[in-house]
Structure 1
Amino acid sequence: MMQVCVLGNGQLGRMLRQAGEPLGVTVWPVGLDADPQAVPWQHSVITAEIERWPETPLTRELANHAAFVNRDVFPVIADRLTQKQLFDKLQLPTAPWQLLASRQEWPAVFALAGELAIVKRRVGGYDGRGQWRLRPGETDNLPVECYGECIVEKGIKFSGEVSLVGARAKDGTKVFYPLTHNLHQDGILRASVAFPSASAEQQDQAESMLSAVMDELGYIGVMAMECFVTPAGLLINELAPRVHNSGHWTQNGASISQFELHLRAILDLPLPRPVVSAPSVMINLIGTPRSWEWLKLPLVHLHWYEKEVRPGRKVGHLNLSDADKGHLSASLEALLTLLPEEYASGIAWAQLQLQ
C-alpha cells in the first residue's frame, strides 16, 4: 500500500488526501504537535503543506527520515533572503532588493527603490501579513524588530500578476499548467482565471525560470511561482514549494489536478502533462459562511475547508469551468447575487479577463 504523510493538516493536506483516494493512495495530513507513535510515518513518503515548522517530537523524527521529499529545500525557499539569493545566483529577473539591516540604510534603499519600498519579513507572513508599503517619511511605521529580519524591494509598476504551477519528477521530467492570471486585494488572492493556452512568450519565460529553480534544487513535486507582468517581461515575486492557492482551479479545470500531480511526482508515478481544454475561474471564499444556494448554478463546484469562519480567513473556494466564456461570465454574474458585496470587484475582474 502506498502511503503519504503530509506535514500540516490544513486545507492543502485535506485536498491532497482527497486526490489520493481515487489512486488508492492513503494520505495522512498530520498536525505538527501529533504524537509520533500515532503517525505511520516510518513506512510513508513524507511531504509538507507548509514551508517552515517549529521543532516538535514529530518534526524531530521526520527530520531524519530518508523519505522526506524536499526536506532540505524547504529552508531555502521559506526564507525570503535565501530565496532571493537563489534567483540572483540563477540570474533570474526580480525586483531590485536588499536585506534591510538597519535604519541607516533607508537613504540608499530609496535611492534604489524610488518612491515606494516593499518590506517583507524574511520568514512567515502571508496573505498580506508581515509586509509594509513605505514611502520616504513613513519609515518610522516599521517596527524596530524588523531590521535584520526583513528584505526590502523596489515597488514595481506591473500590469498584472500571473503564476505558474508545475511539477518535477525524480528523473528530472517537468510538466506545467498554463499560466494563471491572479487578482490580489490587500495581499490576499481573491480570484484566478486560467485559459487552455497562455501567451507563448510569457509561458516560455515562466517555464524556463521555474525549470531552472527546480533543477538547481533537485526539487520533486509541485512548485508554484508568482510573477509580475511588466513591459520588460515577467519578474519573479515569490516561490511556494508546494501545491498553491492559484492552482486550485485545476481540480475542475484540468485532466489532472495539482494535488494528484504532486502525489504522482513524489511517489514516482507517471507524470504526463495535464490537459486543459476550457477556461476556468476560481473565487476564494474569505470569511464567508457556506451557502448551498451557490450549488444552484450548474457550473459552480464548491470546495469547503471545514474551518471556523472568521474575517480574512480562507474557508473555501468556488471553481467554474466551461468552454464557452459567455456561459462562464453569466454564471459569475449570477453568483454575484449570492455573495457579499466585497466579491463584486473580484468577479468583475474575472469577467474582464474572459472578454
Structure 2
Amino acid sequence: MLPRIVVAGNGQLGQMLQQAGAPMQLQVKPVEPNQDIEVALHDDDVITVEIEHWPDTVTGLQLKNHPNFRNASALHAVIDRQRQKSLLDRLQVPTAPWVVLESENELSEKLESLGERAVVKRRRGGYDGRGQWRWQRGGEIEAEWAGTCIAEAMIPFSHEVSLVGARNAKGEKVFYPLTRNWHENGILRASVAGIPVPEIQQQHAQEWLSRIMDDQDYIGVMAMECFVVDGDLLVNELAPRVHNSGHWTQEGATISQFELHLRALAELPLITPEIKGVSVMYNLLGRNWKPEWLGIDGVHVHWYGKSLRPGRKVGHVNINRPTVEQLKQSLSDLRERVDDEDKIAFNWSLDQL
C-alpha cells in the first residue's frame, strides 16, 4: 500500500507533485500550512515540503509534529543562512567567503574583511532576490543588518549551475547532469540542460551533494546552486525540495524531479533518469502565454493558475528537442512570439548552445 504524500505548501510545486503522482496512483495532497485549523492527516501519511518557511499556526505545527514529517534536520539547517553556511563549512563544501553580521559596531569591519564588494542576505526568509542587498567599500551600511544578516564576498563567476539529486531511506542516490542557469535581479529566468558539462564539475558537485544529503539523512530531491569560477565550483545555496532549475526534467528526462522526489518518499525504486535531447526552461514572470506557442516543435507550457503580478512566477515553458540545432530553431521561432523584454532570455539560451 503506497502512502499518501502530504505537501506543506499549496503552490505550483505541490501542483506539479500531484501531476507526477497521478500516473502511479500515488495520492499527493498539498496543504496550506498558514491556517489555524486542524487538517485531516493519516498516521501513515508522509509529510514533505514545497516551501521552507511557515509560521507556527495550528496547521503548521500539525504538519511539523507529524511522526512522518521528513527532513526536519535539513530544513532546520537550511532555513537560516548562517546555519546553512556553517553546515557547508563543516562538511568541507567550498563556498564564497562569508561572515555573520552580529554587532552594529563591527558591521564596517566585517564587510571590509570580504574585499571590495559583498552581498548582504537576511539569515531567514527572502527568495527570488528579495531580502538581499549589494554593498561595496565606502558604501552605505544599514544598522538593521546587525543580528539579522550574513554577508558573502561578491564572486567574479563566469556562470551559474545547479545540481538536482535524490536520496532514499536506504542511502541510494541519483543525479541529473548539472544545469546552466541565468538569473536576473536574483530571479531565475532560464535554464539550459543537456549540453556538455566538464566531468570534474559534475563529479565534485555530486560528491558534495551526496555528503550533504548523507549527513542530514535526507529523503527526496535536493537542489544545490553553484557559481562557476575559473572552471571550479563554489556552492551558493541549498534547496531541500524540488527546484525551479529542475523543471526542465518534466520533458527532458525519462523521470522528472517531481516523480523522483515521490519515488524516494514512497520507497519506490530509485533509478537514474535518462536525459532526452537538450532542453531550455523559460520562466513566465508576471505575464501570460499565447496558445500559438504550442504550434512550435518541442514547446510545453506549464501554467500555475496564479493571478498576474510583476515579477511573479506564474508559469514556465519547457522547450525540448532531440538535437542542439533543432532546439535552436524552436527557440528562434518562440523568441519571435514573446514580448520584447523577454527576448533577452532566449538570446542568453541561444548563446549557451
- State the one-letter code of the partner of 1:138: G
The Cα shift of 1:232 comes to 5.9
Q: Distance in 2 between matches of 1:268 and 1:197?
A: 32
Q: Could you say which residue in structure 1 is the equivalent of 2:98?
A: 97
In 2, the alpha carbon distance for the partners of 1:321 and 1:232 equals 27
Aligned residue number for residue 87 of structure 1: 88
Counterpart in the other structure of 2:129: 128
How far did 1:123 drift? 0.7
- TM-superposed CA distance for 1:197, in Å, is 5.0
Give the aligned partner of residue 137 of structure 1: 138
Q: CA–CA distance in 2 between the matches of 1:6 and 1:325?
A: 36
- 1:160 corresponds in structure 2 to 159
- TM-score, structure 1 length as denominator? 0.96
One-letter code of the match for 1:46?
I
The aligned residue for residue 29 of structure 2 is 28
2:49 counterpart residue number: 48
Measured against aligned partners, the alpha-carbon deviations of 1:288-337 in whole angstroms (never above 9, x if no partner) come to: 11321211212100000000011000000000111221111111111112
Number of the residue aligned with 2:179 = 180
Give the secondary structure class of the aligned counterpart of 2:72: coil
Indicate the residue corresponding to 1:219 in structure 2. Answer: 218
SS of 1:202's equivalent?
helix
Matched to 1:228, the amino acid is F
Query: Given that residues 189 and 282 in structure 2 are in contact (C-alpha distance below 8 angstroms), is that contact kept between their aligned partners in structure 1?
Result: yes
Which amino acid in structure 2 is aligned with residue 310 of structure 1? R
Secondary structure of the residue aligned to 1:319 is strand
- Measure how far apart 1:47 and its partner are: 0.4
Q: Is 1:353 paired with 2:341?
A: no
Rounded Cα–Cα distance in structure 1 between residues aligned with 2:195 and 2:217: 28
Aligned partner of 1:72 in structure 2 is 73
Q: How does 1:1-355 map to 2 (within 5 A)?
A: 1-34=2-35, 37-140=38-141, 142=142, 144-195=143-194, 198-231=197-230, 233-354=232-353
- Is the 1:167–1:220 Cα contact (8 Å) retained in structure 2? yes
CA distance in 2, matches of 1:338, 1:38: 44
Cα displacement (A) at 1:196: 6.2
Gaps of 5+ in 1: none
Q: Would you say the 8 A contact 2:39–2:59 is kept in 1?
A: no
Deviation at 1:40, TM superposition (A): 3.1
Letter in 1 for 2:45: S
Q: Is the 8 A contact 1:178 1:197 kept in 2?
A: no
2: CA distance between counterparts of 1:109 and 1:300?
Answer: 48
Residue 145 of structure 1: how far off its partner (Å):
2.6
Contact kept, 8 Å, 1:5 with 1:41, in 2: the verdict is no
SS at the partner of 2:331? helix
SS of residue paired to 1:219 = coil
- How many Å apart are 1:33 and its aligned residue? 3.4
| TM superposition shift of 1:181 | 0.0
- The 1:105/1:25 distance shift into structure 2, 3 A limit, reads same
Q: Cα deviation per residue 1:168-219 (whole Å; 9 max; x = unaligned)?
A: 0101011000000000011100000011652111000100110110011111
CA deviations over 1:2-53 (Å, ceiling 9, x no partner): 3111000000000001100001001001111356544334331110101121
Query: TM-score by structure 2 length?
Result: 0.96
Shift of the alpha carbon at 1:220?
0.6
Instruction: Using the TM superposition, give the Cα deviation of residue 156 of structure 1 relative to its aligned residue in structure 2, in angstroms.
Output: 0.3
Residue type of the partner of 1:331? S
SS state of the match for residue 260, structure 1?
helix
Count of residues in Structure 1 that have an aligned counterpart in Structure 2: 352
User: How many angstroms apart in 2 are the aligned matches of 1:279 and 1:129?
Assistant: 31
Gaps of 5+ in 2: none
For residues 92 and 67 of structure 2, the distance between their equivalents in structure 1, rounded to whole angstroms, comes to 32
Measured at CA, do residues 292 and 39 of structure 1 come closer, stay the same or move farther in structure 2, by a change above 3 Å? farther
Counterparts of 2:231 and 2:106, CA distance in 1: 28
Select between 73-82 and 157-166 the one with higher mean Cα deviation: 73-82
Amino acid at match of 1:75: H
Aligned-partner Cα distance in 2 for 1:118–1:196: 30
Distance across 1 between alignment mates of 2:140 and 2:210: 37
Residue 114 of structure 1: how far off its partner (Å): 1.4
2: CA distance, partners of 1:238 / 1:321: 27
Over aligned residues, Cα RMSD in angstroms?
A: 1.4
